């Protein structure tokens, strides 16, 4: 329910004309035109790599355009740096926050605003006033490390609102929020827009763009693919603007129930030695052969810890070995390679530096996890077999690369992810654990990855997917649960689950009354 | 800034080959300027430094004798450095190898069997490995930084050697000179030729060269070592045994340094003296990096380093060139080689619009 759209005849708050920016090897922005009216919520839609981030950075003065002009309230400006952008009334909330965890909210805001704005103590009343006015509850004295991700985002937004703001840029703000938190954010943004502040909202989630934004500019491959009014377009039309052909991207996969339990996690608790980390409490989870189980949750609620315990990077003592079982065999005390021998394959969240070694070739990266597949004999690497495997992965999963000698870091995120997933799938695992399998991957590659996961499921493997992308989880998983504060909600069949249920689980409300078949923890 | 470096997406094949050439040209050019400024004929000086030492067979054999210990140490260091284990202790491991070999040798001077040599070489190698093992233990048990511990162990090894040479191992008939008795004939490495001092240690060096090449380029252990060095998280994620690899890399590194030490005392020197090593273990660090941690590259760089040692000495003797100047020349060559290597990964870019550049720097400051 967007507010009534502002009058388009006013002088635009911001106008971009023929903005162009070239990086070595790619044209990030090519002749981009954009216009935002006062009080307008404008969406910037596009896939990863479409040029959204570059364009925002140009507006905020972080990056300089090679050509084109930027017109602020009718006047041409040369945006030299973020300080100048801030002085004009442009605020920006980045995807990754820059907050000091050991300082309080007020201290962080005081630091960001500079000495002229006053001390942290002097700012506190103003912070309270702003947070009340826009419905964002926030205590200025609290230390940042005790805040949730959603609350940290509020700190960043309030920091922007403390000064006289005319244009607020938000980079994928909902990617770190539960659905309910996102709704709260939208209320705030609408109120801001009603007061005349323009908002540039970067996202690739079509549903929220339609709910919030008055107008949208869609970028594809660095160019404007179209301008539209999101409320009047269907998801399919928007998706087509974003990626060209959207026919195969909205596939519904049939849901299945699977066979016998393969992965069994029983009463898994783990105390995290890191004081800012998340400890796991009494996790119960089974994944059957031939099904996909999805685990939702906002980052930092125990996903990394659970993944490390499943992969074997974090081992438990032999006595606790039975808390994780593969086909009834205790494995929680085993090393990663021993677990792989028992059928585990694993796709970590970070592609570079965890799932693949950036400075090694695709060949070496194929060997990295597949070395138990007969690629090593008498201690020597069988180059021919590794070569064949790498070529097979590249062919079967359509990895775009000059050849298998290319370094892992030279591949785009989507291509490398296809390679890593292909490497794991070709080992014919009995259990695949995949963390954020399509994070930062373009829609085309994401569809390939989803199809590969479904095919692996139908071949009889147990699959556990941990993701922050609820659309993805609903699309591919057969059963769902959510992590919150190191606790796992009960598993429920996806078909019996509504988005709002998962939203409740992500916020820690596990015993929602509407659940028909859930066993309480 | 007028000149800036941009990272390249891929290693430049062209610069991989051109960078040593570029470095050689720059060194010769700047070296000549230096010699002219000091009033020496540049061509003659360069000839004395770089060509005269290897113009006859004796010179070449001296070069080999000098290059051997450097090569052995550098090969071992390459293994450790591939795993990003910064073993700076090759010098101490070499000294301890020499010390242990000598301690055994002076007690079996009368032994005629060829087992004497085998025993001595083994004891030297094991002692070097054990000395590196101390570093490995401190690192894996207490997570102590191996750079610091291995450097400190160098000084301990040197003082241990000095103590032994002035005390328990001193030749009773040596007029109180700080040196051990000469080893028995069975304990000496045989010479390979009639003239010159090239000894059977050359075979060990070749053997080590092949072994390290196979280990690093062909074997799965070498692959694990490389992954450990490049990306510890990836190594953990696939279950490579980190501690075991650290031990292995340091033991190989120390063993080869120990072998280099024992080859020195049982080869060209024939007894234990305080000056067993003129810093071979330290030179090997530079040599390992100059050879880009590649065994074949290390062969060339160790020969180059040995040439600079010998050329420097002969220029001191024949041209009265002060040692500092030859050291300056050596430093210049190493500097240019390493500096040119930067071009393999980075592309230089001349930036004439420097005002623009200044503005972006301000942005980075502002973004914080």
CATH number of A468's domain: 3.40.50.300
Q: Are residues B116 and B190 in contact, defined by beta-carbon separation less than 8 angstroms?
A: no
- Where chain B has pLDDT below 70, the residues are 1, 9-10, 351-368
* Residue contact B233–A371, C-beta within 8 A: no
Q: How many Cα atoms are found within 13 Å in the side-chain-facing hemisphere of B38? A: 19
- B-chain residues within 8 Å CB-CB of A156? none
> Across-strand partners of A462?
A431
pLDDT, tens digit (0-9, with 9 covering 90-100), for B302-332:
999 899 889 888 888 888 888 888 788 878 8
Cβ-in-10-Å burial (0-12, 13-18, 19+) of B249 comes to buried
Q: How far apart are CA A76 and CA A14, in angstroms?
A: 10
Q: Which of A88, A111, A357 to mutate to test the interface with B (most CBs of B within 10 A)?
A: A357
What is the pTM (predicted TM-score) of this model? 0.78
Q: Are residues B105 and B184 in contact, defined by beta-carbon separation less than 8 angstroms?
A: yes
Question: Six-digit token pair at A359?
Answer: 């400075």
* Residue contact B362–A313, C-beta within 8 A: no
- Of B6, B227, B362, nearest to A357 by CB-CB distance is B227
- B-chain residues within 8 Å CB-CB of A340? 238-239
Question: B320 at the A interface (CB within 8 A)?
Answer: no
Domain that holds residue A168: 14-89+164-250
Q: Which of A216, A250, A284 is the last residue of a domain?
A: A250
Phi, psi torsion values for A321, nearest 5 degrees? -55, -30
Output the pLDDT for position A431: 96
Q: How many Cα atoms are found within 13 Å in the side-chain-facing hemisphere of B15? A: 16
B214: DSSP letter: I
Q: Which of A360, A363, A366, A420 to mutate to test the interface with B (most CBs of B within 10 A)?
A: A360
Q: Are residues A2 and A212 in contact, defined by beta-carbon separation less than 8 angstroms?
A: yes
The residues near A334 (Cβ < 8 Å, ≥ 6 apart) are A312, A315, A321, A342
* Residue contact B231–A80, C-beta within 8 A: no
Name the domain count of chain A.
3
Report the candidate in B10, B238, B225, B218 with the shortest Cα–Cα distance to residue A356: B238
Question: A308 at the B interface (CB within 8 A)?
Answer: no
| Same domain, residue pair A230 and A276 | no
By C-alpha distance, the chain A residue nearest B233 is: A354
Q: Which of B363, B364, B365, B368 to mutate to test the interface with A (most CBs of A within 10 A)?
A: B363
Residue B143, number of CB atoms within 10 A of its CB: 8
- Of B234, B239, B363, nearest to A356 by CB-CB distance is B234
| Same domain, residue pair A169 and A246 | yes
Output the pLDDT for position B174: 86
- B-chain residues within 8 Å CB-CB of A81? 359, 362-363, 366-367
| Same domain, residue pair A336 and A354 | no
pLDDT in tens, chain A (521 residues): 445 555 556 788 999 999 998 876 677 888 899 999 999 999 998 876 678 888 988 999 888 888 899 999 988 998 888 888 988 999 998 877 788 888 999 999 988 887 777 888 888 998 998 888 887 888 888 888 888 777 888 898 888 888 888 999 998 888 777 788 888 889 989 999 999 999 999 887 777 888 899 999 988 888 888 888 888 887 777 777 777 665 555 677 889 988 899 999 999 999 988 777 789 999 999 999 999 999 998 877 889 899 999 999 999 999 998 999 999 999 999 999 999 999 999 999 888 888 999 989 999 999 999 999 889 988 999 999 999 999 999 999 888 888 888 888 888 777 899 999 999 999 999 999 999 898 777 777 888 899 999 999 999 999 999 998 888 899 999 999 999 889 999 999 999 998 888 888 988 888 754 444 444 43
- Of B233, B238, B366, nearest to A369 by CB-CB distance is B238
Buried-exposed string A282-311: b where 16+ CB fall within 10 A, e elsewhere: ebbbbbbbbbbbbbbbbebbbbbbbbbbbb
Cα dihedral value A52, A53, A57, A58, nearest 10: -30
Q: Which of A215, A250, A285 is the last residue of a domain?
A: A250
* Residue contact B363–A82, C-beta within 8 A: yes
| Same domain, residue pair A438 and A472 | yes
| Same domain, residue pair A235 and A256 | no
End-to-end CA distance of chain B: 21
Q: How far apart are CA B192 and CA A149, in angstroms?
A: 72
- A-chain residues within 8 Å CB-CB of B219? 379-381
Q: How far apart are CA B341 and CA B12, in angstroms?
A: 10
* Residue contact B220–A379, C-beta within 8 A: yes
The residues near A155 (Cβ < 8 Å, ≥ 6 apart) are A97, A99, A105, A108, A109, A138, A144, A147
- Maximum Cα interatomic distance, chain A, rounded to a whole number of Å: 77
Provide the total of helices (H) and of strands (E) in chain B, helices listed first. Answer: 14, 2
| Same domain, residue pair A230 and A272 | no
Q: Which of A250, A269, A287 is the last residue of a domain?
A: A250
Residues 234-273 on B with a CB inside 8 Å of A are: 234, 236-241
Q: Are residues B307 and B333 in contact, defined by beta-carbon separation less than 8 angstroms?
A: no
* Residue contact A62–B236, C-beta within 8 A: no
Output the pLDDT for position A3: 52
pLDDT, tens digit (0-9, with 9 covering 90-100), for B53-62:
898 888 999 9
Q: How far apart are CA B190 and CA B204, in angstroms?
A: 13
Question: B356 at the A interface (CB within 8 A)?
Answer: yes
Report the candidate in B5, B62, B77 with the shortest Cα–Cα distance to residue B287: B77
Q: What angle do CA A23, A352, A367 make, to 5 degrees?
A: 125
- A-chain residues within 8 Å CB-CB of B360? 64
By C-alpha distance, the chain B residue nearest A58 is: B363
What is the radius of gyration, based on Cα positions, of chain A? 24
Report the candidate in A431, A113, A391, A57 with the shortest Cα–Cα distance to residue A264: A431
| Same domain, residue pair A314 and A419 | no
* Residue contact A360–B233, C-beta within 8 A: no
Strand ranges in chain B using DSSP code E only, listed in sequence order = 3-7, 346-350
Question: B219 at the A interface (CB within 8 A)?
Answer: yes
Question: Six-digit token pair at A422?
Answer: 């292909």
Report how far Cα B272 is from the mean position of its chain's Cα atoms. Answer: 21
* Residue contact B227–A360, C-beta within 8 A: yes
Answer whether residue A115 is part of any domain: no
Q: Is A217 helix (H, G, I), strand (E, B) or coil?
A: strand
In angstroms, the separation between the Cα of residue A360 and the nearest Cα of chain B is 8
Answer whether residue A337 is part of any domain: yes
| Same domain, residue pair A395 and A471 | no
- Of A98, A367, A410, nearest to B223 by CB-CB distance is A367
Question: B231 at the A interface (CB within 8 A)?
Answer: yes
Q: Is A418 helix (H, G, I), strand (E, B) or coil?
A: helix
Q: Are residues A315 and A332 in contact, defined by beta-carbon separation less than 8 angstroms?
A: yes
Q: How far apart are CA A314 and CA A334, in angstroms?
A: 9
Give the containing element (helix H, strand E) for A18.
Answer: strand A14-23
Question: Six-digit token pair at A37?
Answer: 């009216």
Output the pLDDT for position A7: 59
Question: A349 at the B interface (CB within 8 A)?
Answer: no
By C-alpha distance, the chain A residue nearest B224 is: A368
Q: Are residues A140 and A123 in contact, defined by beta-carbon separation less than 8 angstroms?
A: yes
Question: B353 at the A interface (CB within 8 A)?
Answer: no
CB under 8 Å, gap of 24 or more: what pairs does A76-84 form?
A: A80/B359, A80/B362, A80/B363, A81/B359, A81/B362, A81/B363, A81/B366, A81/B367, A82/B363, A82/B366, A82/B367, A83/B366
By C-alpha distance, the chain B residue nearest A94 is: B367
Question: B211 at the A interface (CB within 8 A)?
Answer: no
Q: How far apart are CA A268 and CA A302, in angstroms?
A: 12
- B-chain residues within 8 Å CB-CB of A371? 220, 238
Assign 3-class secondary structure to A227-292: EECHHHCCHHHHHHHHHCCCHHHHCCCCCCCCCCEEEEEEEEEECCCCCCCCCEEEEEEEEECCCE
In angstroms, the separation between the Cα of residue A151 and the nearest Cα of chain B is 21
| Same domain, residue pair A308 and A332 | yes
| Same domain, residue pair A82 and A19 | yes
Residues 129-188 on B with a CB inside 8 Å of A are: none
Output the pLDDT for position B358: 42
In angstroms, the separation between the Cα of residue A433 and the nearest Cα of chain B is 13
- Residue A272 Ramachandran class (φ > 0 left, ψ -120 to 50 alpha, else beta): beta
Q: How far apart are CA A195 and CA B181, in angstroms?
A: 96
Tokens 């993944």 locate to A307
Angstrom CA distances, A335 to A309, A341, A436, stand at: 10, 10, 23
Q: How far apart are CA B221 and CA A367, in angstroms?
A: 12
- Of B10, B239, B367, nearest to A410 by CB-CB distance is B10
Output the pLDDT for position B354: 47
* Residue contact B230–A346, C-beta within 8 A: no
- Of B220, B230, B238, nearest to A376 by CB-CB distance is B220
Q: Are residues A350 and A435 in contact, defined by beta-carbon separation less than 8 angstroms?
A: no
- B-chain residues within 8 Å CB-CB of A380? 214, 218-220
The residues near A103 (Cβ < 8 Å, ≥ 6 apart) are A111, A143, A144
Q: How far apart are CA B288 and CA A251, in angstroms?
A: 56
- Maximum Cα interatomic distance, chain B, rounded to a whole number of Å: 79
In angstroms, the separation between the Cα of residue A478 and the nearest Cα of chain B is 27
Output the pLDDT for position B368: 37
| Same domain, residue pair A358 and A496 | no
Q: How far apart are CA A373 and CA A367, in angstroms?
A: 9
- A-chain residues within 8 Å CB-CB of B359? 64, 80-81
Cα dihedral value A243, A245, A247, A249, nearest 10: -20
Report the candidate in B83, B129, B133 with the shortest Cα–Cα distance to residue B242: B83
pLDDT, tens digit (0-9, with 9 covering 90-100), for A290-314:
999 999 988 778 898 999 999 999 9
* Residue contact B237–A355, C-beta within 8 A: yes
Question: A374 at the B interface (CB within 8 A)?
Answer: no
Q: How far apart are CA A308 and CA A324, in angstroms?
A: 12
- What are the residue ranges of helices labelled H in A16-148? 52-59, 82-88, 105-113, 120-133
| Same domain, residue pair A328 and A445 | yes
């Amino acid at each position: 329910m967007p507010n009534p759209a502002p009058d388009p005849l006013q002088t635009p708050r911001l106008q971009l004309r023929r903005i162009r920016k070239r990086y070595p090897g790619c044209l990030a922005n090519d002749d981009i035109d954009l216009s935002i009216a006062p009080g307008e919520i404008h969406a910037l839609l596009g896939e990863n790599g479409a040029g959204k981030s570059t364009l925002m950075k140009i507006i905020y003065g972080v990056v300089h355009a090679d050509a084109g002009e930027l017109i602020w309230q009718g006047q041409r400006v040369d945006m030299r740096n973020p300080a100048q952008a801030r002085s004009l009334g442009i605020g920006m909330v980045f995807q990754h926050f820059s907050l000091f965890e050991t300082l309080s909210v007020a201290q962080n805001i005081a630091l960001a605003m500079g000495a002229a704005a006053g001390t942290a103590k002097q700012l506190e009343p103003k912070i309270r006033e702003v947070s009340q006015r826009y419905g964002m509850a926030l205590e200025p004295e609290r230390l940042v490390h005790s805040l949730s991700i959603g609350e940290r985002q509020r700190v960043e937004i309030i920091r922007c609102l403390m000064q006289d703001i005319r244009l607020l840029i938000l980079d994928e703000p909902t990617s770190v929020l539960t659905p309910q938190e996102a709704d709260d954010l939208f209320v705030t943004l609408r109120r801001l827009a009603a007061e005349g502040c323009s908002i540039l909202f970067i996202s690739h989630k079509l549903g929220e763009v339609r709910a919030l934004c008055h107008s949208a500019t869609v970028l594809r491959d660095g160019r404007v693919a179209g301008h539209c009014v999101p409320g009047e377009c269907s998801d399919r039309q928007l998706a087509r603007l974003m990626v060209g052909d959207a026919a195969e991207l909205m596939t519904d996969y049939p849901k299945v129930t699977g066979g016998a339990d393969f992965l069994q996690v029983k009463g898994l608790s783990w105390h995290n030695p890191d004081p800012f980390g998340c400890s796991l409490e009494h996790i119960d989870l089974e994944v059957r052969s031939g099904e996909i189980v999805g685990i939702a949750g906002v980052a930092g609620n125990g996903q990394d810890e659970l993944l490390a315990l499943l992969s074997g990077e974090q081992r438990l003592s032999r006595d606790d070995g039975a808390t994780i079982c593969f086909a009834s065999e205790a494995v929680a005390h085993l090393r990663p390679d021993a677990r792989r021998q028992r059928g585990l394959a694993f796709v970590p969240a970070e592609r570079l530096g965890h799932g693949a070694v950036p400075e090694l070739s695709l060949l070496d990266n194929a060997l990295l996890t597949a070395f138990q597949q007969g690629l090593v004999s008498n201690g020597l690497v069988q180059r021919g077999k590794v070569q064949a495997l790498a070529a097979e992965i590249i062919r079967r999963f359509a990895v775009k690369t000059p050849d298998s000698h290319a370094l892992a870091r030279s591949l785009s995120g989507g291509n490398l992810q296809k390679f890593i997933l292909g490497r794991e799938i070709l080992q014919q695992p009995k259990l695949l654990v995949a963390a954020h399998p399509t994070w930062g991957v373009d829609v085309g590659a994401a569809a390939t990855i989803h199809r590969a996961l479904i095919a692996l499921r139908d071949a009889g493997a147990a699959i556990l997917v941990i993701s922050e992308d609820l659309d993805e989880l609903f699309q591919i998983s057969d059963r769902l649960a959510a992590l919150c504060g190191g606790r796992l909600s009960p598993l429920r069949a996806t078909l019996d689950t509504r988005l709002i249920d998962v939203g409740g689980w992500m916020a820690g409300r596990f015993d929602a009354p509407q659940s028909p078949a859930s066993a309480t923890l | 800034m007028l000149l800036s470096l941009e990272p390249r997406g891929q290693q430049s094949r062209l610069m991989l080959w051109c960078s040593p050439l570029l470095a050689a040209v720059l060194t010769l050019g700047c070296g000549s300027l230096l010699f002219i400024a000091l009033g020496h004929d540049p061509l003659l000086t360069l000839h004395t430094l770089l060509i005269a030492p290897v113009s006859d067979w004796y010179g070449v054999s001296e070069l080999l004798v000098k290059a051997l210990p450097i090569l052995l140490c550098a090969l071992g260091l390459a293994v450790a450095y591939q795993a990003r284990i910064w073993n700076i202790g090759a010098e101490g491991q070499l000294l301890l190898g020499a010390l242990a070999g000598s301690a055994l040798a002076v007690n079996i001077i009368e032994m005629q069997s060829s087992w004497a040599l085998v025993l001595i070489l083994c004891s030297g190698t094991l002692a070097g490995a054990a000395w590196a093992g101390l570093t490995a233990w401190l690192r894996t048990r207490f997570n102590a930084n191996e750079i610091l511990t291995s450097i400190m162990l160098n000084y301990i090894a040197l003082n241990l050697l000095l103590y032994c040479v002035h005390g328990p191992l001193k030749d009773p008939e040596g007029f109180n000179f700080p040196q051990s008795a000469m080893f028995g004939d069975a304990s000496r490495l045989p010479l390979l030729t009639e003239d010159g001092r090239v000894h059977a240690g050359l075979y060990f060096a070749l053997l080590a060269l092949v072994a390290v090449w196979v280990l690093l380029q062909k074997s799965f252990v070498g692959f694990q070592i490389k992954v450990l060095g490049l990306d510890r998280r990836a190594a953990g994620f696939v279950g490579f045994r980190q501690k075991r690899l650290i031990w292995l890399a340091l033991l190989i590194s120390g063993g080869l340094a120990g072998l280099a030490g024992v080859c020195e005392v049982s080869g060209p020197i024939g007894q234990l003296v305080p000056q067993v090593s003129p810093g071979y273990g330290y030179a090997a660090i530079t040599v390992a990096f100059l050879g880009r941690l590649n065994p074949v590259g290390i062969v060339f760089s160790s020969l180059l380093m040995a040439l600079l040692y010998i050329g420097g000495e002969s220029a001191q003797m024949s041209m009265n060139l002060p040692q500092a100047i030859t050291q300056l020349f050596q430093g210049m060559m190493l500097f240019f080689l390493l500096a040119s290597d930067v071009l393999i990964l980075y592309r230089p870019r001349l930036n004439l619009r420097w005002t623009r550049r200044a503005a972006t720097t301000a942005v980075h400051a502002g973004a914080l």
